């Protein structure tokens, strides 16, 4: 019986760690989508950044250089997306999917050519990856029942990018709801014509939104390869970008509900790992392969069943063409 | 407007064909940069690729065998596109259809081959359509975005297939997750065998009867989209949903029908792979064909004739890419994925980028021709 709180705490900690990349990517997507640009390319940006971060960290031995490279890769892709969708009024879903497919091939080709490990990057050690941080007071609070356990296992002991993800939620919420940039961002996603009439550049705003999204997405990808894992593995984003996008939609394009959706998806993933091989009442042991599909099934069920019709930013997906 | 000179008018007539060609060249130029970065010679790679794809009768057979898959998935994506939908789920629809075809073939040991073929076409279509139906229904009735749900259904299909192949359908006493080989009467005839029966040698390749099914599918899609009421409704919805509703078209029904047809077409990939070549059910037999279909549809301007040409191009990339990776180990099969992605980017998302310079060069096409 005494083990139950510990197990619960460990599950919660695993959920937090699993949610971090989703939160960062979803908040990145929030900038793009609130500005009126569909961001299905989250997956590709994550994967590119994971590769760039791991490759750079492997060569330089510095995790911070890795993060910088990851962010640069994601921002570059965001700019390519903007070039196609904003400057040339291209189809945003097609552009995003094109980038996803290109990155999935490119990371494998470059990884194979540079490191000759079947598309993987060398295992990182020491300064090449972010280690868990023990927050001050973890040992002092250890004796306090309940709180001590919660603080030690769930709040403390994560790497720096998890805390970055946690900090990003209020920061993004404040930026979008309380600043001039946020007001304009929301306006350009609802009614770009009005923004244009007010003398503000629609394209400029949308590019800025994409770059901001790229930075967050870069952190998310770097988290996968140099914080959560210790190397880049082929296609390691494994649909997390799409899950983040689903979380964003499920969260109605708002930071706090999106955080909730990310935690839910992460918990589903933790639960599926734990459920493997455990008999369920009435069903028996569910085969591993089917349990692994749980987060995806959950996504479909949530999008179809609970959200109802999600109210997207009104101008989303529509290229803005100035009247002539 | 400057006066249209005869030469410019001539170029203008060619513009619809010129633009995809220009876009393709740009995409290949970008791919060449990647090849340079990896440290290989792009022109030598291109030559190896072309010889690998068209250098012999066998090579051409392989190219057309891959192209068969891409015709099916390209048509699948195009039908959905005409209705304003983006079906990214062709991969999953194809693999679930493969399950249906495999179950049929495993149970049809004593049937005459023509009956098996007809039944397999129906089963592949039904399973593919069924797997596309759920995302379609969710989009039409619940408003959940078909792009995300079809992607999720790809993951779910992969999980279901892995489970069935590892735990249920696997041939007993065997390590690799695949079914037993089907009985020979359920195999699709290989075209080189048919040709040899007629006294012609076209070289050994996996090209089989499904290539003809692909041609027929292209013709049927063309008739359906441009010469039936239902096809008209589908295209109206894709152009302008408000106009469609005003014209008395029920969007939800058209969305479901379009996605089901799309899924059925994607499902036919299993004829080529499962019945025609492997003669057993393997994991991931679709091999990315569902994603290639997006590029094929975009390159082919969503028209069956264009899709046929684009499918041959991508068939050549797949076949030539395999040969290429033997000679240049640095360029793995993933290079083909890169080229594919760049083609989608340039021909799909950036299709307007080169239009304006081209129009400046040869003049604008009249509005009626531009549609």
Mean pLDDT of A183-202: 89
Contact between B340 and B321 (Cβ < 8 Å)? no
User: What ipTM does this complex have?
Assistant: 0.86
Chain B positions in Cβ-Cβ contact with residue A310 (cut-off 8 Å): 143-144
Q: How far does the CA of residue B119 sit from the closest CA of chain A (Å)?
A: 29
- Determine the residue among A39, A87, A98, A118 to mutate to test chain B binding: the one whose Cβ has the most chain B Cβ atoms within 10 Å: A98
**Tens-digit pLDDT profile for residues A114-142:** 887 777 888 877 777 887 777 777 777 77
A303–B148 C-beta distance less than 8 A:
yes
Predicted confidence band at A324 (pLDDT cuts at 50, 70, 90)? low
Return d(Cα B287, Cα B307) in angstroms, integer.
19
Using one digit for the tens of pLDDT, what is the confidence trace for B322-350? 888 888 877 888 888 898 889 889 888 88
Lowest mean pLDDT among A16-30, B193-207, B288-302: B193-207
- Residue pLDDT, tens place only, B86-96: 888 999 999 99
User: What is the distance in angstroms between the Cα of A190 and the nearest Cα belonging to chain B?
Assistant: 19
Pair of tokens at residue A147: 């709180």
Asked if pLDDT for residue A190 goes beyond 70, the answer is: yes
With a cut of 90, say whether residue A45 has pLDDT above it: yes
- CA–CA dist B191, B7 (Å, integer): 45
pLDDT band at A1 (very low <50, low <70, confident <90, very high): very low
Tokens of A196: 């244009």
Tens-digit pLDDT profile for residues B22-52: 888 888 899 889 888 888 888 888 888 888 8
Residue B126 pLDDT greater than 70, yes or no:
yes
Secondary element (H or E) of residue A279: strand A279-280
Determine which helix (DSSP H) or strand (DSSP E) holds A284, and give its type and residue range: strand A284-285
Interface test with A, best of B132, B299, B345, B355 (most A CBs within 10 A): B345
According to the model, what pLDDT value does residue A309 have? 58
User: Across residues A194-211, what is the average pLDDT?
Assistant: 90
Q: What is the pTM of this model?
A: 0.85
Share of chain B above pLDDT 90, in %: 27
Name which of A123, A41, A55 is nearest B37 in CA terms: A55
Pair of tokens at residue A279: 């008999």
* Closest chain B C-alpha to A9 CA, distance in angstroms: 29
Bigger pLDDT: B227 or A282? B227
Pairing of strands A284-285, A279-280: antiparallel
List the single residue in B with minimal CA-CA distance to A94. Answer: B349
pLDDT at B5: 53
**Residues near A121 by beta carbon (within 8 Å), at least 6 away in sequence:** A51, A54, A55, A58, A111, A115, A225, A231, A232
Which of B86, B144, B156 is facing A297, going by the closest CB pair?
Answer: B156
């Amino acid at each position: 019986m005494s083990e139950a709180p510990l197990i619960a705490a460990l599950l919660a900690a695993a959920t937090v760690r699993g949610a971090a990349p989703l939160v960062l990517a979803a908040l990145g997507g929030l900038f793009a989508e609130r500005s009126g640009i569909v961001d299905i390319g989250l997956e590709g940006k994550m994967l590119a950044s994971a590769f760039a971060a791991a490759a750079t960290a492997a060569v330089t031995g510095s995790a911070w250089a890795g993060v910088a490279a990851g962010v640069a890769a994601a921002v570059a892709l965001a700019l390519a997306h903007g070039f196609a969708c904003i400057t040339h009024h291209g189809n945003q879903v097609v552009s995003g999917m094109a980038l996803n497919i290109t990155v999935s091939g490119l990371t494998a080709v470059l990884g194979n050519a540079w490191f000759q490990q079947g598309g993987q990057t060398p295992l990182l050690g020491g300064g090449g990856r972010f280690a868990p941080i023990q927050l001050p007071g973890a040992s002092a609070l250890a004796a306090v029942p309940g709180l001590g356990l919660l603080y030690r296992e769930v709040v403390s002991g994560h790497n720096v990018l998890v805390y970055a993800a946690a900090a990003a939620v209020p920061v993004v919420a404040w930026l979008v709801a309380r600043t001039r940039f946020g007001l304009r961002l929301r306006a350009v996603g609802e009614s770009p014509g009005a923004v244009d009439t007010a003398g503000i550049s629609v394209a400029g705003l949308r590019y800025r939104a994409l770059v901001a999204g790229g930075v967050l997405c870069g952190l998310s990808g770097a988290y996968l390869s140099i914080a959560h894992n210790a190397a880049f593995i082929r296609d390691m984003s494994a649909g997390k970008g799409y899950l983040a996008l689903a979380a964003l939609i499920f969260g109605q394009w708002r930071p706090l509900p999106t955080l909730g959706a990310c935690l839910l998806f992460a918990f589903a993933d933790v639960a599926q790992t734990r459920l493997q091989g455990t008999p369920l009442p009435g069903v028996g042991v569910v085969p591993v392969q089917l349990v692994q599909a749980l987060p995806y099934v959950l996504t479909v069920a949530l999008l179809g069943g609970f959200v109802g019709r999600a109210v997207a930013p009104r101008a989303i997906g529509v290229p803005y063409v100035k009247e002539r | 407007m400057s006066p249209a000179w005869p030469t410019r008018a001539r170029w203008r007539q060619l513009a619809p064909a010129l633009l995809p060609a220009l876009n393709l060249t740009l995409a290949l130029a970008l791919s060449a940069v990647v090849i340079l970065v990896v440290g290989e010679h792009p022109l030598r790679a291109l030559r190896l690729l072309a010889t690998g794809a068209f250098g012999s009768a066998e090579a051409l057979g392989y190219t057309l065998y891959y192209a068969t898959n891409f015709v099916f998935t390209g048509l699948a994506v195009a039908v959905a596109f005409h209705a304003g939908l983006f079906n990214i789920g062709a991969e999953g629809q194809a693999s679930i259809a493969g399950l249906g075809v495999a179950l049929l073939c495993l149970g049809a040991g004593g049937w005459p081959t023509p009956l098996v073929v007809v039944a397999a076409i129906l089963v592949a279509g039904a399973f593919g359509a069924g797997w596309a139906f759920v995302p379609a229904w969710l989009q039409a009735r619940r408003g959940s975005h078909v792009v995300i749900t079809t992607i999720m259904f790809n993951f779910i299909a992969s999980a279901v297939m892995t489970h069935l192949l590892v735990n249920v359908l696997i041939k007993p006493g065997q390590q690799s997750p695949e079914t037993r080989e089907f009985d020979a009467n359920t195999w699709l005839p290989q075209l080189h065998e048919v040709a040899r029966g007629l006294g012609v040698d076209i070289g050994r390749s996996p090209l089989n009867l499904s290539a003809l099914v692909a041609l027929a599918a292209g013709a049927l899609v063309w008739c359906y989209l441009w010469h039936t009421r239902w096809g008209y409704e589908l295209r109206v919805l894709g152009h302008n949903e408000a106009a469609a509703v005003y014209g008395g078209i029920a969007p939800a029904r058209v969305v479901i029908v379009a996605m089901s047809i799309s899924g059925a077409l994607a499902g036919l990939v299993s004829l080529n792979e499962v019945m025609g070549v492997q003669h057993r059910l393997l994991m991931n037999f679709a091999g990315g064909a569902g994603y290639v279909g997006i590029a094929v549809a975009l390159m082919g301007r969503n028209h069956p004739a264009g899709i046929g040409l684009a499918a041959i191009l991508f068939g050549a990339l797949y076949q030539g890419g395999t040969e290429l990776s033997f000679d240049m180990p640095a360029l793995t099969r993933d290079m083909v994925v890169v080229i594919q992605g760049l083609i989608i980017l340039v021909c799909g998302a950036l299709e307007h980028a080169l239009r304006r310079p081209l129009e400046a060069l040869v003049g604008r096409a009249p509005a009626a021709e531009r549609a």
